[in-house]
C-alpha cells in the first residue's frame, strides 16, 4: 500500500513486526564458494566476486547487518542456513490505524513466501495481502504476487485490488490551473486485475504477455452541485462529458506486451544493478474498455555503489514514463502520482495530487547506514514530476468548464526530503521507513516497509 501523510493510515503493528517484501533477495554467489576466497580488505572481495561481498576475518562473505528489529523483539529466524524449497513462510498480523477522512481503520496484512526451486538459482515467490475496513464504510482488499519458477525461468507479476474508496482530485496536468484548483473529494469503487507472465529469453532479459483491467464504478464528485445558483462542476465530470464517457463509471481492459531487464542483487533494497522495463497495452472496446485506446509504460532504475565496506551506501536513480499513446481513457484511469504499480511515486504529494494523459517522473536517493550494527540507516531524496493535459471544454445549464493544454515538461513540480530506516529483517533487507517530504504547498510524513524503489 502507498505510504500516507502523518495523521493518515499508520500500519505500525505490521510494519514493526513483519517483513513486507513484494519480492525477496535474489540468489547471490554461492556462500560456501565465497567463503574460500581470502582477502585483506573488502575491495579484494569486490574485485574477486562482486559488490556486496565484504572481507570478514580474512575471508569474503556476503554483507549482512548485525542487528534488526526482529532481533530486538526476539522474533528473528533462528540459525544461519537458508530455508528449504517449497516451505511456506507466513507472516500474518493485525493492522490498526486512523485517517481523518476515513475514520478508524482495522484489518489484517500478511505476506506468504516460498521458494519454488533450488535457492542457488531461484528467487523467492511471494504473496502480499491487505484487507482493511474503515468506520467510514471504506473497504480495501489488495493482493500483490510475484511468482518465480525454478531457476527463475518464468516470472509472473500480479496486482489485484478491490477498493471502496474516496480521494481528492485537482484537475489535469501540472500547470497553473491544477496548481491553484481547489480539491474536490471523489467517491469511487475500483476492481483492478493486472497479471503479466514473462519468460526469460537470455541472461537477465525477459519477454511476456499480460492482461490489465481497471474498472471504476459508482463514481461521484461529492462537492459537485449542478442545481446551485452557481453550479459547481468537478474536473472528472467535465472531462467525461467532453470525451463522451459515462461520468459514473469507466473501464480500461487490454492486452499488453512486456519486456524486462533486471540485474539487481535484490528487489527490496538493491546494492547494485540495473532495472529496465517497458510494456505496450492495447485497450479495445471488444475487451470491455469504455473507449479504444493504447498506452505505454517504461521505467529505468540504476543503483550506484559508494562503499566496498558498507554496501548499503548507495545512490539510486529512478526514471518513469506512463502515457496514453492513442485514443482516450476514462479520467480516473489516467496516469496519476502515487498510482503506479506499487504506489511509490511522489513522496511530498498526496496520492492523486497530479494527473494527466502523460507522466514523466524522476527521483534520486542517497541511502546510507548510520549505526555500525545496521539497525539504523538514513536517506536523502529528491523527485520531480511533470504531467501533460489536453485542452477541452464542456458546458451545461448555467455552467462551463475549460481545461488548459499543458505539455509534458512544460511545468515541473519538485519535491524532496529525508528519512530514517529501521532494519526490520536483515535476512531480506527489509526496513521500516519513516520519511519527511516537502513539495510545493505540501508537506507530509510517510511510513512504509522496504525501500521505495
Residue ranges per domain, the chain?
12-449
- Res 229: pLDDT: 85
pLDDT of 92-120, one tens digit each?
666 666 554 555 778 877 667 677 888 77
Distances (CA, A) of 156 to 47, 126, 206, 290, 314: 34, 11, 11, 27, 28
For residue 10, what pLDDT is reported? Answer: 32
Q: State the pLDDT at residue 13.
A: 34
**Would you state the pLDDT for residue 18?**
33
d(CA 61, CA 65): 12
Distance (Å, whole) CA 358 – CA 329: 12
In the prediction, which pLDDT does 32 show?
A: 55
Contacts of 179 (CB under 8 A, 6+ apart): 411, 413, 440
- Ordered DSSP codes for 52-95: TEEEETTEEEE---S--HHHHTT-SPSSSSPPPTT--EEEEEEE
Please classify residue 33 by burial: count the beta carbons closer than 10 Å to its beta carbon, then call 0-12 exposed, 13-18 middle and 19+ buried: exposed
Give per-10-residue mean pLDDT for the chain (453 aa). 36 32 39 76 94 92 86 73 69 60 69 75 78 85 87 90 92 94 91 96 95 97 87 93 96 97 82 93 98 97 96 97 98 95 88 95 98 96 98 93 96 97 82 90 80 87
Q: Please tell me the total number of residues recorded for the chain in this structure.
A: 453
d(CA 289, CA 98): 36
Q: Which one is the CATH code of 12-449: 2.60.40.10, 2.40.160.50, 2.40.30.10, 3.40.50.300?
A: 2.40.160.50
Backbone φ and ψ of 234, nearest 5° = -90, 160
- Residue-level pLDDT at 108: 79
Alpha helices (H) along 219-349: 235-243
pLDDT tens per residue across span 351-392: 899 999 999 999 999 999 999 999 999 999 999 999 999 999
Query: What was the pLDDT predicted at 284?
Result: 98
Going from the C-alpha of 356 to that of each of 32, 107, 323, 334, the distances in angstroms are 51, 33, 8, 6
Q: How far apart are CA 25 and CA 89, in angstroms?
A: 14
Cα–Cα dist 332/181, whole Å: 17
Amino acid at each position: 500500500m502507498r505510504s500516507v501523510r502523518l495523521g493518515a493510515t499508520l500500519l505500525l503493528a505490521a510494519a514493526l513486526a513483519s517483513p513486507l517484501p513484494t519480492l525477496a533477495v535474489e540468489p547471490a554467489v554461492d556462500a560456501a564458494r565465497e567463503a574460500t576466497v581470502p582477502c585483506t580488505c573488502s575491495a579484494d572481495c569486490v574485485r574477486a566476486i562482486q559488490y556486496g561481498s565484504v572481507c570478514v576475518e580474512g575471508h569474503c562473505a556476503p554483507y549482512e547487518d548485525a542487528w534488526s528489529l526482529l532481533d530486538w523483539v526476539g522474533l528473528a529466524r533462528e540459525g544461519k542456513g537458508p530455508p528449504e524449497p517449497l516451505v511456506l513462510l507466513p507472516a500474518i498480523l493485525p493492522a490498526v490505524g486512523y485517517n481523518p477522512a476515513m475514520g478508524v481503520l482495522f484489518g489484517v496484512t500478511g505476506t506468504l513466501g516460498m521458494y519454488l526451486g533450488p535457492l542457488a538459482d531461484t528467487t523467492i515467490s511471494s504473496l502480499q495481502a491487505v484487507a482493511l475496513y474503515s468506520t467510514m464504510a471504506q473497504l480495501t482488499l489488495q493482493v500483490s504476487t510475484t511468482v518465480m519458477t525454478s531457476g527463475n525461468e518464468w516470472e509472473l507479476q500480479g496486482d489485484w485490488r478491490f477498493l471502496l474508496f474516496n480521494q481528492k482530485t485537482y484537475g489535469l496536468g501540472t500547470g497553473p490551473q491544477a496548481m491553484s484548483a481547489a480539491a474536490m473529494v471523489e467517491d469511487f469503487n475500483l476492481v483492478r486485475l493486472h497479471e503479466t507472465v514473462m519468460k526469460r529469453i537470455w541472461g537477465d532479459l525477459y519477454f511476456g504477455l499480460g492482461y490489465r483491467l481497471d474498472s471504476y464504478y459508482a463514481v461521484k464528485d461529492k462537492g459537485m452541485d449542478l442545481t446551485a445558483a452557481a453550479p459547481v462542476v468537478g474536473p472528472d465530470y467535465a472531462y467525461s462529458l467532453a470525451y463522451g464517457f459515462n461520468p459514473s463509471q469507466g473501464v480500461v481492459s487490454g492486452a499488453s506486451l512486456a519486456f524486462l531487464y533486471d540485474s539487481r542483487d535484490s528487489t527490496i533494497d538493491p546494492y547494485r544493478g540495473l532495472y529496465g522495463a517497458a510494456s505496450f497495452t492495447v485497450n479495445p472496446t471488444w475487451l470491455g474498455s469504455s473507449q479504444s485506446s493504447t498506452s505505454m509504460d517504461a521505467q529505468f532504475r540504476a543503483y550506484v555503489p559508494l562503499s566496498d565496506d558498507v554496501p548499503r551506501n548507495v545512490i539510486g536513480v529512478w526514471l518513469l514514463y506512463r502515457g496514453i499513446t492513442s485514443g482516450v481513457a476514462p479520467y480516473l484511469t489516467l496516469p496519476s502520482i502515487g498510482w503506479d504499480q506499487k504506489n511509490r511515486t511522489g513522496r511530498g504529494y498526496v496520492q492523486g495530487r497530479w494527473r494527466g494523459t502523460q507522466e514523466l517522473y524522476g527521483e534520486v536517493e542517497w541511502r546510507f547506514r548510520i549505526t555500525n550494527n545496521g539497525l539504523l540507516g538514513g536517506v536523502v531524496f529528491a523527485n520531480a514530476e511533470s504531467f501533460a493535459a489536453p485542452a477541452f471544454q464542456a458546458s451545461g445549464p448555467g455552467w462551463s468548464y475549460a481545461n488548459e493544454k499543458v505539455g509534458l515538461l512544460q511545468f515541473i513540480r519538485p519535491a524532496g526530503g529525508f528519512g530514517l530506516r529501521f532494519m526490520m529483517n536483515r535476512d531480506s533487507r527489509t526496513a521500516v521507513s519513516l520519511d519527511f517530504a516537502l513539495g510545493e504547498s505540501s508537506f507530509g510524513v510517510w511510513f512504509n516497509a522496504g525501500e521505495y524503489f
